[in-house]
Structure 1
Amino acid sequence: MYKLVIVDDDEWIREGMRRNIPWEREKIQVVGVAEDGKMAWDLIQKVKPDILLSDIQMPFMNGLQLAETIKAHGLDTKVIFLTGYDDFSFAKQALQLQASDYILKYEDNNKILQSVVNAANRLHTERKVVLKEKKSQGLIINQFFSDLIAGVGNDDTIERDSQLLEVSFCGNTFAMGSIDMGSVTRYLKPNKPEDMELLLFSMKNLCTEVIESEEIENCQVQVIQYNHRINLLFNFTEAISDDWRLVVERVSRTMIESINQYLKITVNIGVGSFGEGFRHIALSYEEALIALQMKGIFATQDVIFTDQVKQSNSSHHAIIKIITDYIDVHYANEDLDLKEVAEKVHITPSYVSTLFKKYNDVNFSDYVIRVRMKKAKELLIHSTLKAYEIAESVGYPNTQYFSVTFKKYTGLTPMEYRQNHRQ
C-alpha cells in the first residue's frame, strides 16, 4: 500500500476526493488530510506519505512552498499539484520543483486516481534503483575495507579511494577484531551456501545496530564481511592512548550479547594488536585469527586479545598441536604443503614455519616427510601392500620418488626395510 495525503483548503473538494475515489482498489491508502500547507507539513513529518495530492493556493503555506520544504528535507514523497486555475506560471514552478504531475482539481476522479497511480509506479521504480545503488555502494565499501585487511594498496591509493567513497578515518591507529561462530557451521547444509550468507548478513546487521546505538568515544568501528567471517575494524583518535582495550572489550561484549540474544549463537571475538598506519590492519587481523585459535586455552573468555596469546607459551604449543594433528590426518594428500595448513588454522605460512623451527627443531617439510616415512615403515612391516600402494597411501604417487626418499631417510630401500624387519 502507498500512503497518500490530500491537502486542500476547500473541505468539499478535500473530503470528496478522500471518499469518492476508489483508492484502495489501486493499493493507495489515504493516511490523512489537511486544510493548509502548515498543517500538511506537520502531518507529513508524522505519517511520512509516499504521495502528496496538494492544492497550490492555500493559506499560511501554499502548495509550492510545501513542495520546497519536502524537497529541502530530502524526502522522496511524490507531489501532485491541484489547482482551480489553468495557470502556466504555476505549471512552470511545479516543473522546477520536479512535481510528479499538475492537474485541475475539477478533473474526472478517474484521471486524478490515474495520476496518483502513475506517481506510485514511478516512486516504486525509483526506490528500486536507489536500493540497488545502496547495495552496490555497500558492496564497494565492504570491498574497500576487505582490501585493507588483505594488505592491498598503499597510503596514496587508500587515501584516493576513501575520498571517492566518502569514507573517513578519525585517526591513524587501528586494531582488528574477528568473530568466530564456533561449531554453528556444522549445522548448516553444505549444499546451501545461501544459509551461511544469510547468517553472516544477519550478524553484520546486528553488529552495525550495536555500533549505531552505542556511544563510542574516540573510536570508529567498521563491520566488514571478509574471509567468510564478520570482522571489526577499530579506528582510534589520538586521544584514545591506553584506553583502547577498554573500548574494544566493551563494544565486543555488547555484540556478543546481541548475537546470542537474537541469533541464539555463542561466539568469540579475537582481537589483534593496536598500531599505527593502514599497514598495521593486515597484521592485526592475522593476530586476531591467531587469538581465536587459542579460545580452547582461554575457555572462560569470550574476547581474547593477541597479547594474551603472545605471553603464553602454552598457546604456542597449542597451535603446534593443531598443525601436527592436521598433518597426522592429511599426510596422504600429495599436495599437502605449508600454505594449505596455514589456511586451515588461519595463520600465515611464515608464522607456521617460525613456530615449527622454534618448538619442533625441524622445518615443516621435514616434519611431513617424517610422518609419511613413519607410516610407510608401519605399512611395510604390518601389511601386505605392494610398494606402489604404500607410496600412494602416504602421499607419493610417484613410486620411484618414494623409494629414493625412503632410502635417503632410512638408508634402505622399501623392500630391504620390509625384509630386514620381518625376519
Structure 2
Amino acid sequence: MATEVIMPKVDMDMETGKISAWHVAEGEAVAKGAALFDIETDKAAMEVEAPATGTLRHVIAKIDDVIAVGRPLGWIYAEGEEVPEEPPVTVQAKAPTASPPQNPTAPAGNPAPLSETVADIKTTDTIRATPAARKLAREQRLDLSTVTGTGPRSRIQRDDIEGHNATLTQQPSAGWQPEAGPLAVSRTGTGTDAPVVLIHGFSGDAMGWRPLEQALLGAGREFIRIELPSHGKSPRRHVSDFAKLARMVVQAFDDLGHESAHVVGHSLGGAVASALTDIRSRRVATLGLIAPAGLGAEIEGDVLLGLARATRTASLAPWLKRLAATDDAISEDFARAAMNARSDPELRAAQLDLANILFPDGTQSFDIRPALSRIEVPVSVIWGRADRILPWRQALQLPGHAALHLLPDVGHIPHIEQPETVAKLLIRLFKQAEN
C-alpha cells in the first residue's frame, strides 16, 4: 500500500507548515531517508526525509502552500505497486494536536475538503488567502483587499502580508528599489578537500574574509564566499524576516552543487550559517561560528544603525572601531576601503531597512538555539571576550555539543583581529569531520 507523505510536526506549537522546496519531482524515484521536501514555520526551517522507498505520485501540495500538520502532501508507491488515477482518500489529519482549517458551511463533524487546505481558501468576498495569511491579517487588522496575492490564482500568502507591511514601512526611508537575481558568490583557492563556505555579517562583504583566508592558505582548500542580500556585489533584495534571509542563502548554497562543505559564518552570517546547516545537514561537514547572532536579545543596535547610515569615512570609522577590542585595531585605510565599498546610497538604504527588520529597536528578533540543538555535525564557536557588539555570555546559551573558544583581548571580529588563532581553531574543526 502506498506510503502517505504528511506535514510533520517539528515543534510543540506548530499547527501549519509552508512548503518551501521539493527535492523530488512527481514521478521521480526516491530512497527512504533521502531529502524529500523543505518546510518553514514561524520558528524553524528544515529538510524532511522520505518515509519510504519508491516513486513519488499524486503530489497535492505545491511550493508556498501552507498545510496543516498531519495533512497529506503526496504518496510514495513501492516498485511494482499499482498507481491509481486518483490519490487515496485520506484527508483526515493524523495528528490529534493539529488544527486544520474548517469549512464553515460543512456539516458538523465532517473534515474540511482537502482543497480548502492546499488550494483556495475563500471568504464571502471571494478574496483568496491561505490560513496563515488570514491569521496574520486579522492580528494586524489589515484589509486583505489592499494586498496583492502572488500565489496560485492570485492567492494571498503570508509572505504577501509581510511584504505589504514592509513596503509601507519602507516608504518614509525610500531611496532604494529591490532588485532581482541570485546572491553574489566568489571563489579563491583550490584543493581536493571539502571547500569552506564563508558567510559575512551585517554591513560586511566578501573582502572581510581576506585576513582569515591568508592564514588558511596552507590548508589547501577552496574558499567560497556568499554575500548577503544588499551587501557587497549581491543585489538589493527585500528581506521580510530572518527565515526569508536564510532561504536566500540556502538557494545560493544549493546552486554551488557541492556534496559536502565546511560552513563558517560571522555575526549575522553565523546565524544564517546555523539555519543553513539545520536545513542542509546532509551537505554540511562542520559548522564554524564567529561571534554568532541569534543567541539572545541584546545587541549594540546603535553601532548597526551607525554603520548603515554613515555616508563618509569620517562618520563610518568611529563605528568600525567599536567592532574591535581596541580603537587602534581599525586603521584609517581599513575605514576608507570599507566606505568605498559602501558608496552606493541605495545599498546603504537597503541595509538600514534590513537592520530595522532583523534588529527592531536594537533587539535581535530571531533565535538560532532551536536550530543549533538539532545540528549533529561538529560545531565550534569562537568569541572575543571584549566583544562590544554581542556579549560573549550569550554563548552560554549554546547546546552542550558545541565547542566554545573564548579569546582574550579580542572584540567582535576575531577573524580580522587574530586571524591566525581563528585559522588554527577552524583547521582543528575541519579535521574532526575528515579523520
Q: TM-score, normalization: structure 1?
A: 0.24
Q: TM-score, normalization: structure 2?
A: 0.24
